[in-house]
Structure 1
């Protein structure tokens, strides 16, 4: 009798129970933004200022080049106007300690 009750309890936990470790990992992943998120927002804002007639329709973080004093976050944004679509590479160079922006470079591309 105890054996059957134990199996039913385990089966019930398996079907209806939550696994706290998995739930916590998902919640934690949703709460933590990637380290480049701040720079991605800057890239989109500054690109929108430079190309006010265009809509940003796609966004890609290419990576970070880390130097001893300055680092550069690299993005590719895809823009669309009424008559064309084009890409813009955006490189944001910033001070590693203060995170103050040193330079932003834009380079258009057709692909």
Structure 2
């Protein structure tokens, strides 16, 4: 009985993990990279995050754009647009651009 219960629980958690991975939007991994690279560059708290959109430039080049809102340790806040250009067939990153904004 105990083995059966453990098997059922294992199958349940495997299904939950699989469903979570399937529910994540396609841009999620690029958003994670945008946040990591922004943290490295600005060393400020990320207080908000928005996926602006994806642009397919060519079969070998696409770009995901995000807007992050940052707060410095002195309390000042500002926005940063992060554009990640990559090869959609290999997911190899070509460039990451940052553009600051006060809105």
Please state if 1:92 is matched with 2:50. Answer: no
The residue aligned with 1:14 is none
Please give the TM-score of this superposition, normalised by the length of structure 2. 0.76
Change in Cα spacing, 1:58 to 1:98, as seen in structure 2 (3 Å) is: same
Flag the structure with higher strand content: 2
Match of 1:72 among 56, 59, 63: 63
Computing the radius of gyration over CA atoms, which structure comes out larger, 1 or 2? 1
Structure 1 residue runs without a partner (length 5+): 1-27
RCO higher in structure (CA 8 A, sep ≥6): 2
4+ residue runs over 3 A deviation: 28-31
Write out per-residue CA displacement over residues 54-108 of structure 1, whole angstroms, 9 at most, x where no aligned residue. 1000000000001221000000000001231000000000011110000000000
- SS of 1:44's partner is helix
Displacement of 1:32: 1.4
Please give the TM-score of this superposition, normalised by the length of structure 1. 0.71
